[in-house]
């Protein structure tokens, strides 16, 4: 049986693959029992048109927010550029909404889904409330397993520790699997400055590394790119055919060029999805097996661990494993759930426990529960702002709803605009597998930033005026009535002007014949009169 993805593949693509056998019908690793390719393996990646890549319209990929030191990120400006690229915006929106729909289908397939969410939330709350105890337990267990344990107060110390480990071993090359913590620490840029070569082994991270960009998404780092973008990046950096955007050809090309680096690397590094205090072990969840290669092929192994990744016991892992991939990709489980407990014979293992602001956040009454995050990106996949503006528009390691509540904990001034990049619809909270009240924390950050004067004076004035109106029912009703009347009679140019930010890229709602309050008062009087 052939699948839709087979029909969409360009003719002759099998012959153009580096290893043609990856496209053979008998390749069970990419097909289900019915012979069709697994839906969650390829996601929504499809050619933008039936035309060959060489003749398709080529739209330049929009770049991310402009970083100017600690000056506030202009997310709106970067979002405008992303919206002005219709092919990229449409593809980005469709891919992420596809993941959201698959998440819903996977969640509805488990009767105890809500119970799992509640249990995961409680486990995380308990662990964070006793984090000092579990960190000490983890350190003791890891050392008993023969692991060297290090503590880093911040990203800079993490980088220095890893550099020192590699220097002591004469290591000059390091392969690594995807890790948001190392992105947070600026690890790759630091290592380039001291002459150590870092090779990303995750496909999406490798694409971003080759294009000199940061990841735009926690799970799918290059989701903002089209297949043509990737073909151009690989043609420029790997020497592939720029007119061949077949996904199998591109993935295999990256694999062929990365494997030699893996086999010859002096050291390997992984991130951490979960760290088990009971066993002193690190658990990674991947779909490419690159963490296994990074953590097992080189003799020097390093694992970077955010201190919030701890869970108390190995038996609790089953709760999170059932939630993670379903929330992220809509698949029942990741292809590889790998446990790193101790060094193999003849090798050396190091684990670096990193704080980098987490302890400070743990003391924030309204925001500490953001530390429950298991980095599934379900909130990103459902967010209408993120889907339409692209992750790089946020100018931060963490984008989307979870980024809006994490980023200001690092730098209030720089990320002061981000909590306002939200519609406050609450969908992010509804899909969070550990039940973080994301939209409520976004609102709380808006309040903090306003009170501490981290927002522009014009916006502060507008918010103060709005607060005065909203605090007085009579003033609010009068303002609503005046606005409705104005929308009915004012010419279009008077409504859609630079001061009306709502009117950018969308139409104003049609003014109703009467307000709800007026309707309710009238109907209530009718009913009261009838009752009398």
Which letter does DSSP use for residue 428 in this model? H
Assess whether pLDDT exceeds 80 at residue 190: yes
Counts for the chain of helices (H) and strands (E), in that order: 25, 10
Q: What is the pLDDT of residue 14?
A: 44
Span of 265-274, 326-335, 350-359 with lowest mean pLDDT: 326-335
How remote is the C-alpha of 91 from its chain's centroid? Answer: 17
Which comes out higher in pLDDT, residue 457 or 411? 411
How remote is the C-alpha of 87 from its chain's centroid? Answer: 21
Radius of gyration of the chain, Cα coordinates, nearest whole angstrom: 26
Q: Would you call 169 helix, strand, or coil by DSSP?
A: coil
Assess whether pLDDT exceeds 90 at residue 24: no
Q: Where are the beta strands (DSSP E) in 107-261?
A: 148-152, 173-176, 197-200
Phi/psi for 344 (5° steps) reads: -75, 165
User: Residues of the chain with pLDDT > 90: what percent?
Assistant: 72
Residue with tokens 């980023």: 407
Alpha helices in 390-456 (DSSP H): 400-406, 427-431, 438-451
Nearest Cα to 301, choosing from 352, 348, 263, 353?
Answer: 348
* CB proximity list for 161: less than 8 A, separation 6 or greater: 150, 152, 352
Mean pLDDT of 346-375: 97
Phi/psi for 503 (5° steps) reads: -75, 0
| pTM of the model as a whole | 0.85
Which comes out higher in pLDDT, residue 66 or 6? 66
* CB proximity list for 505: less than 8 A, separation 6 or greater: 83
Residue 200 pairs in a beta bridge with 176
User: Residues of the chain with pLDDT > 70: what percent?
Assistant: 88
Q: What is the pLDDT of residue 176?
A: 96
Residue 269 pairs in a beta bridge with 176, 302
pLDDT tens-digit readout, 115-164: 999 999 999 999 999 999 999 999 999 999 999 999 999 999 999 999 99
Question: How far is the C-alpha of 416 from the C-alpha of 408, rounded, in Å?
Answer: 7
Residue with tokens 């279009």: 492
Structure tokens at 403: 């980024």
* CB proximity list for 83: less than 8 A, separation 6 or greater: 89, 388, 389, 505
CB-hemisphere CA count at 13 Å for 243?
5
Q: What is the pLDDT of residue 13?
A: 42
3-class secondary structure per residue, 26-51 = CCHHHECCCCCECHHHHCCCCCCCCC
């Amino acid at each position: 049986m052939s699948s839709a993805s087979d029909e969409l593949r360009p003719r002759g693509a099998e012959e153009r693959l580096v290893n043609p056998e990856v496209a053979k019908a008998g390749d069970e690793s990419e097909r289900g029992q019915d012979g069709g390719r697994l839906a969650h393996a390829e996601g929504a990646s499809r050619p933008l048109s039936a035309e060959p890549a060489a003749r398709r319209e080529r739209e330049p990929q929009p770049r991310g927010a402009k970083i100017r030191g600690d000056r506030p990120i202009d997310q709106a400006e970067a979002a405008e550029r992303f919206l002005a690229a219709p092919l990229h915006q449409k593809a980005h929106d469709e891919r992420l909404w596809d993941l959201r729909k698959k998440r819903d289908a996977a969640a509805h397939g488990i009767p105890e889904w809500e119970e799992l969410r509640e249990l995961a939330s409680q486990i995380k709350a308990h662990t964070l409330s006793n984090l000092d105890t579990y960190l000490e337990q983890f350190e003791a267990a890891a050392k008993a397993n023969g692991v060297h344990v290090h503590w880093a107060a911040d990203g800079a110390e993490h980088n220095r520790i890893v550099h020192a480990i590699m220097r002591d071993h004469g290591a000059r090359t390091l392969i690594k699997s995807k890790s948001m913590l190392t992105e947070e620490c600026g690890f790759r840029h630091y290592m380039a400055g001291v002459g150590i070569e870092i090779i990303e082994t995750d496909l999406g991270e490798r694409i971003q590394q080759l294009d000199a960009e940061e990841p735009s998404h926690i799970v799918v780092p290059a989701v903002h790119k089209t297949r043509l973008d990737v073909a151009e990046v690989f043609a420029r950096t790997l020497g592939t055919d720029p007119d061949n955007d077949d996904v199998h050809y591109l993935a295999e090309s990256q694999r062929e060029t990365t494997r030699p680096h893996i086999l010859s690397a002096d050291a390997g590094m992984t991130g951490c999805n979960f760290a088990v205090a009971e066993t002193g072990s690190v658990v990674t969840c991947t779909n490419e097996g690159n963490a296994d290669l990074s953590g097992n092929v080189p003799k020097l192994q390093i694992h970077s661990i955010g201190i919030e990744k701890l869970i108390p016991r190995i038996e609790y892992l089953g709760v999170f494993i059932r939630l993670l991939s379903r929330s992220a990709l809509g698949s029942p489980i990741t292809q590889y759930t790998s446990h790193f407990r101790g060094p193999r014979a003849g090798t050396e293992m190091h684990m670096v426990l990193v704080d980098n602001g987490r302890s400070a956040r743990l003391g924030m009454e309204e925001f500490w529960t953001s530390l429950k995050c298991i980095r599934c990106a379900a909130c990103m996949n459902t967010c209408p702002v993120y889907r339409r503006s692209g992750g790089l528009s946020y100018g931060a390691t963490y984008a989307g709803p979870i980024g809006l509540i994490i980023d200001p904990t690092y730098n209030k001034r720089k990320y002061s605009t981000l909590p306002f990049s939200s519609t406050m619809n609450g969908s992010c909270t509804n899909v969070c597998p550990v039940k973080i009240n994301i939209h409520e924390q976004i609102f709380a950050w808006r309040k903090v930033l306003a009170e501490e004067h981290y927002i522009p004076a014009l916006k502060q004035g507008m918010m103060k005026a709005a607060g005065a109106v909203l605090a007085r029912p009579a003033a609010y009703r009068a303002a609503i009535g005046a606005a409705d009347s104005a929308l009915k009679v004012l010419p279009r140019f008077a409504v859609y002007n630079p001061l009306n930010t709502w009117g950018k890229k969308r139409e104003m709602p049609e003014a109703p014949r009467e307000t709800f309050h007026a309707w309710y008062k009238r109907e209530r009087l009718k009913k009261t009169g009838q009752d009398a």
